[in-house]
Structure 1
């Protein structure tokens, strides 16, 4: 027990000795830094008056700066309101006196301001500005009517901030109508809307409401029923919804048209139709290979032009277009009659017009023409007889042509060109599992199906006699087969229509006036693009 106590006492003595040594070390360190502390205290004592002076200066300056900041904020709000008026076409003349309370440090003196920066017929909505927003440092006052006098104005930089993109200030842009949307070309409509928003500095929060206010036709009817389901959406989300609804299968249809388009008139007409198709496709896929368009353009040319263009191996679409136009010009010049044959008359005749000419006895006429000794009277009688025979032949020819035209079917320019107007509208249908693009066209007289689609279907039968179809540009198309009672489906309804097979380029099926008569009585709204036909004992509407 005593041994343990001795060990404990020794441990305590050792700890006390160690602590004494550490305290001595600390004391020495404090003694070393004590002069530095005394020096620092002296420096703080010397800086104390300066710090008090700085604090007093700041306290005196602070209220003045806060007042200037508040005034600047009010001026910016007023300027933003004025810029919105300018963007809407009100004109700078309705703005009144420029806002005040701008900080002096931000405005040059009046002597440095440009003279005549604010002039024109003030109050009429037309102003000539220098392209900047102007602010003066005059005392605050209520806006007053502008009198048209020249005012020296100072310039400050300004950014509206409320608009997605800044529009350079100056004369307001000319008025233009907002692009309307009826369901066609949604991508083109989107770009036109965004351009309008940039020009007129429309805030992004109003884009959706402003755009949907200008829906028309089928798009307006669709949005009326879908608005509650859509809810509040952003501009990008609205565009995606529109693409889903109105852009279904458009690119696939355009791609098919690229393989069907053919020259049916002049090269210029073909170039115009091909250019429209090409830019529609590029709107969906801007990175399409240019060689694709060059190849498709050449393949659609008339054979006599295509052969010459292919030999030249054009490396670009522009070169192929130039070669096609040049070849057409050379071909037309080669087929023009020479000047020595101007007196010869060329008359188109058919079999019905030839019969009267075959029974005419022309032996006397030949004898008189070959005999140079005939008198003038006999020659005149011969000319009268020839004129009578020509008139009779022409009369019979016209009658035969009229009868022939009555046997022709008609096909509108919209059906051949892939366009749409107020007398026709499009449908998406299904035939034997194939998605087809259909055109209900009151300007066509028959029901037709394209030969390329018919080659994929069953039930094609030859006709007893070929059918002849006259296009609006005068071209005659011929078909030799048909699909009797072809079953097709559209929006839940089923129809059976006999369709004649002809070469179509843009549409898969054309439903003409024959189909419209067969569905009568019915309801049609050509403006809103819908048709209601009777299915059994009920009526059902189909929106396009």
Structure 2
């Protein structure tokens, strides 16, 4: 009996040892798996960091912007996904105002540091603009990079073609010659160069339209440019339809009235079409 009890005890001890070893190996395997997962995640994170650095260097992105964000501990507002490629606008001497506007939009989205703006802009100059930049930098008494405000001020003196223009006078004197859309294009181009209230802009827009378009529009007293433009287009279509219906002197009646009231010529059409010499007999 004692021998059997001893054997059973040995078996139980061996079983406990096996269970213990199995648990130890399982713990080790779990730990190794966690470490491997951590290394894989770190590898992936590093790949994204390298990719972002590669994209940033490719579009002229400078590290001072990142340093500024980290120093302030204030996260920037991300309008676009982190890895969206935003092309910096190029400038060859044409449309300076439009280029400066796009630059400011880029700086805001990118969070570009003040001391990096000029450097970033100059590597995207071409043609006459690049030639001017090289001469400008050589003529400076110092090799220090100018501030963005100083740079665009000097740049404007060279490339702005409207320094001595009077867009307000042009806007007030603008008159419609072609279609409403052609007039709108010229009007928008001038309006973009001045600061006007909506009310005054509407007044200028209507005043420049052709008489047969602006007079009916005034009856509706539009308060916004969009409303005035819509009415002008409708009146233009009504006039074109009216002209087609009266082409060749033959009046064609349609089931749809004009969208806006138009001046009707030939109000004595009925009398002119009455048989010559016809008399009205008493009833």
TM-score (norm 2): 0.54
CA 1:84 to 1:316, structure 2 compared with 1: closer, same or farther past 3 Å?
Answer: farther
Find the counterpart in structure 2 of residue 277 from structure 1: 190
CA 1:316 to 1:171, structure 2 compared with 1: closer, same or farther past 3 Å?
Answer: closer
CA 1:88 to 1:329, structure 2 compared with 1: closer, same or farther past 3 Å?
Answer: farther
CA 1:87 to 1:220, structure 2 compared with 1: closer, same or farther past 3 Å?
Answer: same
CA 1:291 to 1:167, structure 2 compared with 1: closer, same or farther past 3 Å?
Answer: closer
1:189, 1:208 → 2: CA distance?
14
Select the residue among 178, 185, 189 that pairs with 2:88: 178
Is the Cα contact below 8 Å between 2:78 and 2:109 reproduced in 1? no
Find the counterpart in structure 1 of residue 180 from structure 2: 267
Find the counterpart in structure 2 of residue 308 from structure 1: 216
Find the counterpart in structure 2 of residue 332 from structure 1: 240
Select the residue among 226, 229, 238 that pairs with 1:318: 226
CA 1:169 to 1:243, structure 2 compared with 1: closer, same or farther past 3 Å?
Answer: closer
Supply the RMSD in Å over aligned alpha carbons.
3.8
Select the residue among 55, 75, 78 that pairs with 1:89: 55
CA 1:195 to 1:262, structure 2 compared with 1: closer, same or farther past 3 Å?
Answer: same
The CA deviation at 1:161 is 4.0
Q: Does 1:195 pair with 2:195?
A: no
1:128-181 CA distances to partner (integer Å, 9 max, x unpaired)?
A: xxxxxxxxxxxxxxxxxxxxxxxxxxxxxxx53499982539943432432112
Give the structure with the larger strand fraction.
1
1:5-29 CA distances to partner (integer Å, 9 max, x unpaired)?
A: xxxxxxxxxxxxxxxxxxxxxxxxx
Larger Rg computed on CA atoms = 1
The CA deviation at 1:301 is 1.1
Select the residue among 229, 238, 241 that pairs with 2:139: 229
2:138, 2:185 → 1: CA distance?
42
- 1:92-171 matched pairs, under 5 angstroms: 160-161=70-71, 166-168=76-78, 171=81
CA 1:84 to 1:262, structure 2 compared with 1: closer, same or farther past 3 Å?
Answer: farther
Find the counterpart in structure 2 of residue 475 from structure 1: none
2:225, 2:52 → 1: CA distance?
45
Is the Cα contact below 8 Å between 2:91 and 2:124 reproduced in 1? yes
1:334-388 CA distances to partner (integer Å, 9 max, x unpaired)?
A: 112379969xxxxxxxxxxxxxxxxxxxxxxxxxxxxxxxxxxxxxxxxxxxxxx
The CA deviation at 1:243 is 2.7
2:184, 2:151 → 1: CA distance?
35
Is the Cα contact below 8 Å between 1:274 and 1:297 reproduced in 2? yes
The CA deviation at 1:207 is 1.6
Is the Cα contact below 8 Å between 2:187 and 2:205 reproduced in 1? yes
- Counting matched residue pairs gives 191
1:489-523 CA distances to partner (integer Å, 9 max, x unpaired)?
A: xxxxxxxxxxxxxxxxxxxxxxxxxxxxxxxxxxx
Is the Cα contact below 8 Å between 2:79 and 2:109 reproduced in 1? no
1:163, 1:259 → 2: CA distance?
51
**Unaligned ranges ≥5, structure 1:** 1-78, 91-158, 343-544
Find the counterpart in structure 2 of residue 210 from structure 1: 120
Is the Cα contact below 8 Å between 1:165 and 1:198 reproduced in 2? no
CA 1:309 to 1:241, structure 2 compared with 1: closer, same or farther past 3 Å?
Answer: same
Secondary structure of 2:70's counterpart equals coil
Give the structure with the larger helix fraction.
2
Find the counterpart in structure 2 of residue 290 from structure 1: 198
**Unaligned ranges ≥5, structure 2:** 1-44, 57-68, 252-283
1:374-413 CA distances to partner (integer Å, 9 max, x unpaired)?
A: xxxxxxxxxxxxxxxxxxxxxxxxxxxxxxxxxxxxxxxx
CA 1:275 to 1:338, structure 2 compared with 1: closer, same or farther past 3 Å?
Answer: same
